[in-house]
A and B are shown apart, each in its own frame.
Chain A
C-alpha cells in the first residue's frame, strides 16, 4: 500500500539522519531519484562502510541547501543554467534518468491502449480539449470507443522537477503553452486539480473517473495505473519501456549544454519516449570540506560503475558509458581541493 511505503520511507529517512555519523556523505534534493539513491546507498554501505544521508526534500530544497553549504551535494530534476553554475561555483552532472508517463482513468481502457500526442496533452492541460470524445483524441485513436465524459486534468500542487520536465515537453510540443503557461517547477495551471507529490497525482487519477495525470513511470507501474502511449517527435507511436527511455537518452547531445543540463523531452529518433528526464547532482568545484566531496565522488563513481542493474530494476535508466567517461574527466579537471589538487582521478 502506498501510504505504508511512504511511512516506511519517512521512518527510514528519520532513522538514517539520526544514525548519520561524521563519515557519512550528506546530500539533499529531488524526490524522484530517492528510491534509487537509497538503494545504492544501502549496497554501498554494505561494501564500503560509508553511508549516505540523503534528504529527499525536493529539487528546490536541494538547490537551497547546497547553496547554503549545509550538505555536500544537492540533487535536482531541473538543471541550473550555465550562468547560475558559474556564479555559485557549482559543478553539475546527470546521475540517472527516468521517464514521465501520462496516466488515465477511463472505463474499458487498458494500459497502453490509448494514444496521445504532445499538442493534445498540452491542449487538455490548457482546457481547450475538454471531453474524451474530442476529435483531437478520436483522431489518434480511430478504433477506440471513447465516452462523452469530461476530462479531469490532474497535476502537481507542489513545486516539482517532474512538473518542470512535463511543462518543458508541453512547451516544445505546443508553442501556445509557452506563451500562456510557461515552463517551471510550478506554474499557473489554467484548469485541473492539484495533488501533492507523485503519490498524490497517482491516487487522484485512480479515484477520479475521466482523469488524466502525469507521474514518474515507477509510480504508474506500482499503482497499476493505465498509462498511455505517445506519438514522439518522429511521428511514431511508442510505449513507455526501458527500451524507449534508453532510445531517447542515446540520442541526447550531452555536451550541448553547460553542466550537462540537457532536457530529454521530445528527443528525435523513432523509438524515443518523448517524456524522458534526467536528474542532476550539484557539487562545489572548490569545496570547503574537500574530503567529504571526495567521498561523495567515490560514491557516484561506484554508482555509475555498479549501480546500473539496480537502476534498471527500479525502472530508471543508467547513464551511457560514454557520458560517464566524459563526466569523470570533468571531475578530474574541475573539482579540486584548496591546494588545486584534483579530488578524483579516473584511475582510482
Chain B
C-alpha cells in the first residue's frame, strides 16, 4: 500500500507538469498535491451541498407560500372542485385530476408504442432503416414543448374536432361506460387531446431508453430462445423484457416525470377549465397549466397562495412517483439475486 503510493508520487514527480525546481523538493510537491486534492474535494462537496440547499429552499418557499391557502381551506383544499376568484374559494381537485388523467393517457399510449418501436429497431428492423428511425425518435425529443403546443392548437385539435371526435361520440353513444368517456360536444381541445400530445412528447424518452437496454441483452440468450423454437413475440415477452425490466421502468418513470410537469404544450390544448368531468373531450386543467395561466394576474393573497399550494402538491406527486420507482427498482434487484 505504502510503496504503491510512493510509486504514484514518484510518477507524478517525473511527469512534465512538475517543474524541475519543485522536483527538487519532494515535500513541497506533496503539499501542493494534497492542497489540490483538498480544494477539489471541497468544490465537489460544495456543489453537492448546493443541490441540497436549493431543494430545501424550494420546499421551504413552497410551504411558506402555500401556508395561507392551506391554513384557510385545510384538507378540503384537496377535495374541493371550486376555483372561484370572485368569492375566493379555491380547491385543487380539478388540477390534480387533470394532471393524473392526462399523464395516464400519455403513458397508456406511449409505453406500448415505445416498447414496440424499440424492439423493432433492435431486433426486426433492416439495418439501413435503423439509423434514420432512431435519429427521428431522438429529434422528436429535441422539439421544444411550445412547438407541440402550437401544432396541437392549430392543426391537431381542429383535425380532431372535425373528423375524429364527432365519429367517436356517435359510435359510442349507445354503449354505457364509453358514452360517458366520449361525451360531446366536440371542442377539439380538451383532456384527451392534451393526453395525446403528451404521449407524443413522452414517446422518445420511453423509446430511446428501451432501445438502449434492449441492445444490451446478450445475443446468446436470444439465439438460444430462437434455437428452441420461440416466436419473436415469445423472445420479446420471456427473454428481452424480463432481462431489461429495470431499464424499461427507468424510461417509464422519466417519461412520467415529463408528462406530470409539462406546462406549455398542455396549456395550449387542454382548455384551462377548472372542472372535473368524466368525458375525455371536456376541457380541464393541470397543476402546471393553472399556475402558468393564472400566476401573473392572481389578485389577492389567497389566490396567489392557492396557486403556490398547487405547486407544492405537484412537488409531492412527483416525489411519490420517484419514491415508487425507487422501491420497484429495489424489489426487482432483490428478486434478481
Assuming A194-B273, A203-B153, what are 19 further A-B pairs, CB within 8 angstroms? A58-B296, A59-B297, A60-B299, A61-B296, A61-B297, A150-B185, A159-B296, A159-B297, A182-B87, A184-B85, A186-B85, A186-B299, A186-B303, A187-B84, A188-B274, A189-B273, A194-B271, A203-B154, A207-B158
| Closest chain B CB from A159 CB (angstroms) | 3
Which among B86, B272, B285, B292 is the interface contact of A181 at CB below 8 angstroms?
A: B86
Name the A residues within 8 Å of B267 (CB-CB): 157, 196
Is B293 within 8 A of A194, CB to CB?
yes
Knowing A185-B85, A203-B153, A207-B158, the reply to whether A193 touches B187 (Cβ < 8 A) is yes
Q: Is the CB of A58 within 8 A of B297?
A: yes
User: Residue of A at shortest CB range from B292?
Assistant: A196
Contact A194/B84 with A60-B299, A160-B297, A186-B297 known, Cβ cut-off 8 Å: no
Measured between alpha carbons, how far is A210 from B161 in the docked complex, in Å? 10
A130 vs B187: C-alpha distance when bound (angstroms): 12
- Chain A residues with CB under 8 Å of chain B are 3, 57-61, 63, 130, 150, 152, 157-160, 181-189, 191-196, 203-204, 207-210
Inter-subunit contact B158/A208 (CB<8 Å): yes
**B265 adjacent to chain A (CB < 8 Å):** no
Alpha-carbon separation in the docked complex, A152 to B84 (Å): 21
* Residues of the B chain whose Cβ atoms lie less than 8 Å from the Cβ of A160: 297
- 20 A-B pairs, CB-CB below 8 angstroms? A60-B298, A150-B184, A150-B187, A159-B299, A181-B86, A184-B85, A184-B86, A185-B85, A187-B84, A188-B82, A188-B83, A188-B85, A193-B187, A193-B272, A193-B273, A194-B285, A207-B153, A208-B188, A208-B189, A210-B185
Q: Are A196 and B157 in contact (CB under 8 A)?
A: no
Instruction: Tell me if B297 and A204 are in contact (CB < 8 A).
Output: no
- Say yes or no: is B131 at the interface (Cβ < 8 Å to chain A): no
Report A184 CB to chain B, min CB distance, Å. Answer: 5
A186–B285 Cα distance when bound, in Å, is: 15
With both chains docked as a complex, state the minimum distance between the C-beta of B56 and any C-beta of chain A, in angstroms. 28
CB-CB under 8 A from A63, the residues of chain B are 299
Indicate if B34 sits at the interface (CB-CB under 8 A): no
Closest to A152 in B: B187
Interface residues of B (CB under 8 A from A): 82-87, 150, 153-154, 157-158, 161-162, 184-190, 267, 271-274, 283, 285, 292-294, 296-299, 303
**Residue of A whose beta carbon sits closest to that of B185:** A150
Q: What residues of A have a CB within 8 angstroms of the CB of B294 in the complex?
A: 157-159, 186
* Nearest A-chain residue to B157, judged by Cβ: A207
Which of chain A's residues have a CB closer than 8 A to the CB of B150? 3
**B293 near A196 (CB under 8 angstroms)?**
yes
Contacts of B274 in A (CB 8 A): 188
* A192→B271 CA distance, assembly (Å): 8
Measured between beta carbons, the chain B residues less than 8 angstroms from A183 are: 86
Query: Distance (Å) between the CB of A80 and the closest chain B CB?
Result: 11
5 nearest A-B pairs in the assembled complex, by CB-CB distance? A159-B297, A194-B272, A150-B185, A157-B272, A193-B271
Compute how far the CA of A58 lies from the CA of B296 in the bound complex, rounded to whole angstroms. Answer: 7
B300 (CB) vs chain A CBs: closest residue: A60
Query: Which residues on the A side are within 8 Å of B154 (C-beta)?
Result: 203, 207
Q: Which of A188, A203, A210 has the most CB of B within 10 A?
A: A188
B85 engages A209 (CB within 8 Å): no
Chain A residue numbers with a CB within 8 Å of B273 are: 189, 191-194
Instruction: Assess the A187–B85 pair: CB atoms within 8 A.
Output: yes
